[in-house]
Every structure is written in C-alpha cells, then in structure tokens.
Structure 1
C-alpha cells in the first residue's frame, strides 16, 4: 500500500496562491508591500520543546498580522503560528473543531482524531505536550498554534478524516506541504528568519568604501545607483556578497537597453572606470574590474528604466528565481518591498 503522503502531491505555488488559500476573500486586496515591511530582524533561536512543565507564558509574540480576523505571527523564539480561526479556515472546519482538539489533547483515552494527529507529528520527529501555546499579548491571552501543529491538523483533514475529509484541506495541504506554511507566515508578517544582516551589510559597505567615488566626474555608475535594490534585498534576508552581486544583473540589462535604444546619440558616450571588490571576494583576484559608467544627463532615463523595465517588467523577479540559494520567502519580501514608490525619480 502506498504511503498516504503519496495521495496528494505537493505543487509549486506562488505566495499569492498560498495567501488566497487561507483567506480568499482578501486575495489581491489586503496584502500590500507595506504590510510586508520587516519590523523586526530576530536571530534564530533554538526551539524550545513545549512540555507540560514549561508553562504557557514563557514566550511572547514578536510580530503579528491579522487578515480579516485570521491571525498569524512569530513568537519570541522564532516559532511561526496561526491562531485558531486561521487554522480552522485552512482546514475548512469550524473554530470549535480546533478548540476540541486542544481540549482533548491530554485525555487519558485518546480519541482517534487526536491519536492520528499525534502520529503525524511523531513521524515528522515532533513532540508537543499541547497543540497550542497560550501567550499574553497586549492584555489578551492568544492561542497560538505552531506551524508544525497546523500542518499535522491540515494533513488529518486532507487525508485521514474519513467522511470528514475537507476539499479545502486537500487543496491547502498541496499548497502548504513542507516548509511553505512557515515561509508564507514569515513573508506575510515581514519577519526575517535568518536574522543574518550583519555580514551582508559589512560586505556591501566594503564595496561602497572601495567604489563610491570611482566613476569620473559627470558620470554615474550602476553600483552606486543600485543601492536601493541592494539595501532592500539585505533587509529581506538575502545574502549579498561574492555569490550574489545584483548590480551585475542590473548593469547587463541596462547596457543592452542603452545599445538597443541608441541612447548614446541622446546623452553622449559612456565611459569606463575601475571597479574593485573587497579582498575576501574571489572577484578581487582580477581587480580592478573595468565597468561602464554613464553620463549624468542619462540618470533620469536610467531611473525610469529601473522602475518600469527592470523592477516592474519582471527582470528582477527572474533574477531572483535564478538564485537557488534564496528562499522563496526572501524573494517575495524583496519583490514586494521594491515597489516603484521606493525608487526616487
């Protein structure tokens, strides 16, 4: 007999599809780039095992978000969670069904539903003494269901609930299997699970120190004009460094646009200048790199192109897709943060 997880194959899905799976009523309306602004960059903390001896008030809520009453957020130890209503919507059941799971969790004689959900968790190597964490926040006790619990309950209603299997659960399990639920929560509340911005910022600033005045007077360089893009990538959690140099992508596309539209006839000749990489970059072995710089008269044209063609036209999104080391949640944050309003004209 095939393993039950083979019954529903996970599918690739965009974050808009994932968000729509939880709250289709707000799909395309409620989620905005400002909603995903990173409010806290927290270090990764080792997950505490939730036991009956731990108590319920050891953790706090670092960041939360509400989509038409469906709450999600991240606890102070980095745990992504949904509230009871969010989990119920995900599974296509009433809130009371999720509350019953919590109330029956510790019964001496386990109901089949509880035994099955606990079995799913054990298969994944997880052990929860209770399915939710009670966390006081802003004067109210919140019932937070960790992402692992949410996926186990979702799998139950997608595969194991017999006549109570829900079509919404089957659909959402395909969308959110594996790490996608965690990534979706991190993305929607604007939380960086890596907590690792110090090193990318250091490498970026070293390049700035080496190159901020490299282009000759009267010309601009792509690196100096790419600071908004690079900064927002770092804030979204991208590892900017020797393996990810976004200004190369921008420079290559801009050079093609420059040639294809004969911008030299409008603004004058472009020039060359020496660009240098920090010593800990492998590119430094061939320093200086000879790069293009462009007449300042073309700066307005460049910024319009960056907004309309590179960012809004999908080239930036395609660049991120080609970077396998970037988690989808980071890519999504970067794309949404880099709206046209953030690019100065």
Structure 2
C-alpha cells in the first residue's frame, strides 16, 4: 500500500493492535486489526465519501475543535449512538508494510453517513451509494469479504498457537527452539486463514530445512552441539499420545544465524513450496498463499 502521503496526527503508535489484513481494491485501502476490527485508511474513506483525502485528514487532525462545529456535531452524535467514546478518530499502528492510520468501522460509518445524508457536495451521490451498500451488507462483513479475513478460522488457529506456546515455554537458558523462534512467521500464518492443526505444523518444515543447513555447514563445530528436548502438543493432537515427543533445540549462540537463515533462505526459498502443498491439502485458501509471502517480508533500513 502507498503510505507516502499519510498524515501525522501527533498521537503515539498503538502497538497493542496491529493490521493483520491489508488490501487495496479499486484504489480503496482497507484491512482488519488484530482484534478483528475492520478499517479503511484515510484515502479509502475519502474515496468512499467522494471527498478529497485532505478533508478526512482535517476532520481527524482537528477533531477536538471539529466536533463542536455543525459537521462535527453530526458526526459526533452518530459516533455516540454507536457507543464510540474515543477522543481520536484514527488509530495509528503498524502493519506488514509499515505505519497504518486506521479509521475503524464506527468512524467510517459516521463520516460516511454525514456525507451521504447531510452534506451538500458535488459527489454526494457517491457517498449515498456507498452508504447504502454498507448499511445493507454491514461494514464488518464488507471488509472481511474483501480482505479474505475469516474470524473463526483465524481465532481457531491462534488458539492452537497459544496452546502450543504455553506447553513449550521452558526451554533451557542456553538453547533456543525452532517453534518459539519462528513465532512471528506462525502468527502471520494463523492470521491468514492458515489452518494450524495436527496435520499442519509449520515448525516441522522449518526444523527439517534448518537441520539440513546446520549439518551441511558443520555449525556444531562453531556453536556447540544441538540436543533433543521434550516437545508437547495439545491433548486433541494425535502427537500427544504415546511416547514423549522430542525436538531439536540449538545453542543460543547460533540464534542470530538462525534468524538470518529463516528470512534469507527459508522464507525466500522453502516457504512458497510449503504453502503450495498446504493449499493442495486444504489447509490454506489459494489466494492467501501470495498474501502470506508478502506479509512475512521484512523491511530494509535505508541504505541497506
């Protein structure tokens, strides 16, 4: 998404939320926050309202004063009716591609309602048409469908991820585990409708490829030997039955090498074939594979 002209409102980043879905359809930027709240960006909301982005920016940037004016009073009344009680109209947070300025469903519907029903403007019919669409289909469903966000499947996978984290949180101090160190990648998978279950365990794929790299490059000579350590699965996983399962854990001194390998080798070389396989198995909707590959790319610092 193009964020080159995003405004600065002066508020701090809200890192308790993240944009876990970000798409642009017909020029309208939209997404879903990590708590399931759908949003439009400033430009997306402006297009829906049939106004210039600077108009939306002005309302949000000057909201304390704006809400006392005729336009602001109408928007504020609509927000109050929806139970919205924040002093800000925009949530400034982080997404996969950088900073995001999110106008949530309540804010979007209140501003769109004003431009559809109360404002006198040349493009008011645009706002009225979009308001009818969203009032009929619901803003949340509208964004979920267009971003491919599945609340139920994402929540189920996140619950599995959380269970496994809690079951495997006692790694010896001088070692690290593949499962815990690839948590960022697993989080992106879970939030992209990837079905985390007993049949789709991405850390096994990462562990196999990293183990081959470890052995091929004789890393034990430089960092020390890896060791097997108990690894636990949720009770509803078949892997939890029978003998205690074990997984390799690696010397903490090699953690930097692993993190670099994960991004430079696994994500770039091995992740796409793994996702293609999971699409074939039904663990992942086909359109999501490309979205995941984009989402897991790390930004580069200027000059690097």
| Number of the residue aligned with 1:331 | 289
Number of residue-to-residue matches in the alignment: 196
**Uncovered stretches (5+) of structure 1, i.e. residues with no partner:** 1-17, 24-29, 43-61, 73-82, 84-134, 147-181
When normalised by structure 2's length, the TM-score is 0.54
| Aligned partner of 1:322 among 272, 277, 287 | 277
| Number of the residue aligned with 1:305 | 261
RMSD of equivalent CA atoms? 3.7
- Say whether 1:63 aligns with 2:58: no
Quick one: distance in 1 between partners of 2:42 and 2:287?
18
| Number of the residue aligned with 1:140 | 115
**1:62-89 deviation digits (Å, cap 9, x = unpaired):** 53468899968xxxxxxxxxx9xxxxxx
Quick one: distance in 2 between partners of 1:71 and 1:319?
38
| Number of the residue aligned with 1:41 | 36
Distance 1:136 1:197, change over 3 A: closer
Q: Verify the 8 A CA contact 1:40 1:63 in the aligned structure 2.
A: no
More helix, by proportion: 2
- Say whether 1:220 aligns with 2:220: no
Quick one: distance in 2 between partners of 1:223 and 1:315?
16
Q: For 2:225, what is the secondary structure of its paired residue?
A: coil
Q: For 1:294, what is the secondary structure of its paired residue?
A: strand
Quick one: distance in 2 between partners of 1:259 and 1:284?
28
Task: Give, in angstroms, the shift of residue 257 of structure 1.
Answer: 0.9
**1:193-231 deviation digits (Å, cap 9, x = unpaired):** 344333222222221222111x33311111111211111
Distance 1:329 1:38, change over 3 A: farther
| Number of the residue aligned with 1:204 | 161
Task: Give, in angstroms, the shift of residue 41 of structure 1.
Answer: 2.5
Quick one: distance in 1 between partners of 2:243 and 2:31?
38
Task: Give, in angstroms, the shift of residue 254 of structure 1.
Answer: 0.5
Quick one: distance in 2 between partners of 1:308 and 1:263?
17
Q: For 1:207, what is the secondary structure of its paired residue?
A: helix
**Uncovered stretches (5+) of structure 2, i.e. residues with no partner:** 1-22, 51-107, 117-126, 134-142
Task: Give, in angstroms, the shift of residue 341 of structure 1.
Answer: 4.2
| Number of the residue aligned with 1:260 | 216
When normalised by structure 1's length, the TM-score is 0.48
Distance 1:63 1:291, change over 3 A: same
